[in-house]
Amino acid sequence: MTQLTHFDEKGQTQMVDVSPKLETERIAVAKGRVYAQNLTIQRIADRDFSKGDALEVARLAGIMSTKRTSDLIPLCHAIPITGVTIHLSTNLAESCVEIEANVKSVGRTGVEMEALTAVSVAALTVYDMCKSVDRSMQISDIRLVRKTGGKSGDFRAE
């Protein structure tokens, strides 16, 4: 059975000691979607909201959240982020906003949680920006799709 790294032999919560690990380049890519009414997606695409450009505000929120992940997830390490890109696009055919976060670091632990946080916060921001016209929006499909670097090696979702 695989031992959970965030618990010691007595079952007590611990923060993993990453000091013995080598510093390597770490990259994580996460994706997610915000489903909404077609009219809402069209308004997002047209940048037609009184609060501003929903996609650009969500992009900024996603970027900012990567730097705060360790404040939000109790056992995450505060790590130096060397790069973040957030791609948001409207998909009228599937009536959603598609979100992808790419996060990079050179360090001793991965950036999967930072990428997932970026997508989550960007999705929440889309909801916040558009809730005045569509409270039925659904945040969905948030997942890690790829990661590279570190002892555990590379991962690519199927």
Active site residues: 128
Angstrom distances, CA of residue 125 to CA of 17, 23, 90:
33, 33, 15
Q: Outline where the chain has alpha helix (H).
A: 38-45, 54-66, 69-72, 112-130
- Taking alpha carbons only, the member of 143, 138, 153, 125 closest to residue 30 is 143
Nearest residue to 104 (alpha-carbon basis) of 84, 128, 125: 84
d(CA 12, CA 33): 35
SS3 of 3, please? Answer: coil
Nearest CA to 73 out of 15, 126, 145, 20 is that of: 15
